[in-house]
Structure 1
Amino acid sequence: MDFVLSGVAACGACLFTNPLEVVKTRMQLQGELRSRGSYQIYYRNVFHAFYTIAKVDGLAALQKGLVPGLVYQFFMNGVRLGSYAIIESSGYIHSNGRVSRVKSTLAGSVAGVVGAVMSSPVYLVKTHLQSQATSSIAVGHQYKHQVFPKDSWLVALSSGMVSSVVVVLAMTPFDVLSTRLYNQPVDHLGKGQLYKGFTDCFSKTLRKEGLMGLYKGLGASYFRLGPHTILSLFFWHELRKIEYKYLK
């Protein structure tokens, strides 16, 4: 039940914060592998991105990728919080009757990695859908037909999964790399890819766009992080109250 309650709570938060995820994705893909000043800036900041997307693509575009986003949140946070709850109830994180900081951190990391791996395929779909835009404001690779290119989608999935795990372990600019790895164009057997993997994506982004290239979409990330965390915990707390009242 811990898995279900955690997943549903995260889905409830996603309904409100998905527009910020769309904005973050677009901003992270803007000017991909191009030096500063050599490309047109469609999204100047979080608020301008909201306005631009709503004006050009319509208000509904701010909820692009909502369905896979909900599925991603259910698996990611359901597995993450559910696994941690199981570890906690087993008594592993306690030492001499007190919570061990080291064990608690380790348990959270393991739960986060498991959640990231299991939800990675859905994150790939979500990224593809959220990056799609009208040609006048399009950034990154645009998937018009197949979400999973034949015989090669596993290449993008596996490389993106690595960066997703890193992002879970530490909230860093590697979130940009995760978005780009999941959204990169993939040909038959992986030929013609922008990136060969996580380290290649990191070095190319740093070399072409500089250090700030790793921080694209940072504002949207943190605008989303606060409300999403608060709403997730609020819904989780309320759902647990209902569970204890009616099911126990």
Structure 2
Amino acid sequence: MTSQGQGPLGLSLLTPEGRAAHVWTPGEELTAKLLFGGLGCTIAVFFTHPVDVMKTRLQLQGEAVAAAATTTTSVVLPSSSTSVLAATHTLHPTTSSSSTPGGAVMRTAATTGTTTVTAATQTTTLRLFPLLRQIMRTEGPRVFLAGLAPAVLRESVYSSIRFGSYDYFKGIYSGMGAAGLRGGEETTTLVKLMSGFTSGMIGSAIANPADLIKVRLQAFWPSGKPRYTSIADACKSIYVEEGIPGLYRGVVPTAARAMVVTASQLASYDTTKHWLLRLRDSQGHTMFHEGYLTHFCASIVAGLVCSIFTSPIDTVKVRYMNQQFNAQGKGHLYRSAIDCALKTVQREGPMALYKGFLMCWLRLGPHTMLSLIIFEKLRSLVGLNPV
């Protein structure tokens, strides 16, 4: 077994064979951490993506119907007409007015004579397993792969930056400089939170187009076909219909969510792990050591903390991104992320912000565990200090 590549004073260490171990420069170390962070999260997303699809569907339930219920569309019919008109607003335009996996049931009424036809709506919010059965019956298992390509692209950019630059910003905020923290030094909770805020914000802002496409592909398809055929088709369609700003719809709630996700996830993992490593039994022996068990326990705590703090922001982000926008960039349902949050609470109650919380936890828990264990292992294999 070889020794670490660099000692606490920056001196080269020797392997048991007497050869000099590789000495990581600050640039090489940052590059390796960026690569390992993205790789760990990209692997994790393959296992957790179906749960992410269900989370998105649960978060969108009741949205369209609640919005439609606030307005009434009136149409005057001639006395001989027997047409029944439906004034509906679905997440994606469709001529159908039947039940959807989002839980909306559209009903209409019409009378003869010079009559006003109004659209009435009724909301049926399905729980996890009924919604799962309905999705399987109407869309089939392929829906659980919806948005996988942009999800992988998003993680390869977003998580590379937020995981990889976390130590970099810890060095800056702790006063040790960008080349600091070469030996896994402990820092304050404030430094950890600030580092998570910064790395998460930068990563999410850059990866926002992929996140936007992922959300729209995961939403309900009234036509039975995905909204876009590929990432390239999505980028082209969004550019033609909404322009370049269209690719950055929801960048504010996305960045806010990413800041909270990264700060709560990495800071709680970092804090929990070092707390476990300091535990002693009655004889004064350490109870935990750097390794899989410690990483597993710390990541489970981090996944729960992250889910509690980010679920409301994630619901707002998903709803705001998924709505349609006109040529002027105005959303059909919400003017802004704050408007989305206020209307969601006003129409559906405060707990609507926690729609899909169980799925959020079931996704973030395993995702956090897999990504951080892989991240730590890759760092260990090449001789980099642990988180």
Q: 1:144 Cα deviation (Å)?
A: 5.9
Query: Which residue of structure 2 lines up, in the alignment, with residue 143 of structure 1?
Result: 227
Question: Counterpart of 2:139 in structure 1: which amino acid?
Answer: D
The structure showing larger relative contact order (alpha-carbon pairs under 8 Å, at least 6 residues apart) is: 1
Aligned counterpart in structure 1 of residue 142 of structure 2, from 60, 69, 73: 60
**What is the CA-CA distance between 1:188 and the residue it aligns to?**
1.6
CA distance in 1, matches of 2:316, 2:204: 15
- Which structure features the higher share of helix residues? 1
The Cα shift of 1:112 comes to: 1.0
Q: TM-score normalized by structure 2? A: 0.55
Letter matched to residue 71 of structure 1: L
The correspondence for 1:169, drawn from 256, 259, 263, is 259
Distance 1:28 1:91 in 2: 37
Output the CA distance in 2 between the equivalents of 1:144 and 1:158. 17
Whole-Å separation in 2 of the counterparts to 1:149 and 1:92 = 38
Q: Is 1:183 matched up with 2:322?
A: yes
1:176 and 1:216 in contact (8 A); partners too? yes
**Cα distance, 1:198–1:191 mapped onto 2, change above 3 Å:** closer
Amino acid at match of 1:77: S
Map of 1:84 onto structure 2: 166
Deviation at 1:100, TM superposition (A): 1.9
**Cα 1:194–1:55 shift into 2, 3 Å:** same
With structure 1 as the length reference, what TM-score do the two structures score?
0.84
Percent identical: 30
CA contact (8 A) 2:209 2:248 kept: no
Paired residue for 1:117? Answer: 205
Q: Following the alignment from structure 1 to structure 2, what is the Cα–Cα distance between the partners of residues 232 and 201?
A: 31
Show CA shifts across 1:15-47 (max 9, x none): 000001100111111110544992234x422x4
Q: Which moved more, 1:233-242 or 1:123-132?
A: 233-242
Which residue does 2:191 correspond to in 1?
103
Which of 203, 225, 231 does residue 370 from structure 2 map onto?
Answer: 231
1:77-129 Cα shifts (integer Å, max 9, x gaps) = 110011112234x464378x751221221111111111111111100010111
1:5-24 residue pairs with structure 2 within 5 A? 5-24=36-55
Q: Distance in 1 between matches of 2:377 and 2:149?
A: 23
| Alignment RMSD (CA, Å) | 2.8
Q: Distance in 1 between matches of 2:245 and 2:173?
A: 36
Q: Which of the numbers 51, 55, 59 marks the counterpart of 1:28?
A: 59
Hey, what's the Cα distance between the residues in 2 that align with 1:39 and 1:149?
Answer: 34
Residue ranges of structure 2 left out of the alignment (5+ in a row): 1-31, 67-103, 105-120, 177-184, 261-309
Farther off after superposition, 156-165 or 211-220: 156-165
Can you give the 5+ residue segments of structure 1 that lack an aligned partner in the other structure? none
> How many equivalent residue pairs?
237
Conservation of the 8 A alpha-carbon contact between 2:162 and 2:202 = yes
How far apart in 2 are the matches of 1:210 and 1:118? 33
